[in-house]
Structure 1
Amino acid sequence: MNHQQLEKDIQHLEHVISHISAEDRIPLSYWRSRVDSVSGAVRVPAQASRVKRLNAALSALEERQKG
C-alpha cells in the first residue's frame, strides 16, 4: 500500500470509528479487519501512533458490545 493510500485509509478509519457504535449496522468485526489491515502497512511512527489510537477506540467499542 502506498503512503498516500495509507494516509487516506487511516483518515477514513479515524472519522468512522469516532462516529460508530457497537449497534451500528456494519459489524465491528469489519472495522477490526480494516484497522488490522492498515496496521500491517504502517511505515512511520506518526502513523503507528494513530493506528494505536484507532485500536484502542475500537477495542473500547468491542468491550461495550460484550458487556
Structure 2
Amino acid sequence: MKTKDKLRKLAKLVGYDVKTVKQSIRTASMISGVSFAMALDSMLKAQEAKKNGSRLSMTTSAIQKK
C-alpha cells in the first residue's frame, strides 16, 4: 500500500481531511524522532485496532513492526 493510500485510509478512519492528517503525522514524527512512514503506519494500526475494539496502543504497534 502506498503512502497516499494509507493517508486516505487513516483520514477516513479518523474523520478528517488528508491534509490535516498528514500535517499532524508530520508533527508527531518530528516530536517523537521517527520517520514519517513509521509514524503513519503506527497511527494507522492504532486506529484500525481502535475501530475493531482492540486495546492495541501506538507503542505496541510500533514495537510489533520491528
* Superposition TM-score, scaled by structure 2 size: 0.38
Which has the greater radius of gyration?
A: 1
* Superposition TM-score, scaled by structure 1 size: 0.38
Does 1 or 2 have the higher relative contact order (CA < 8 Å, sep 6+)?
Answer: 1
Name the one with the larger helix percent: 2
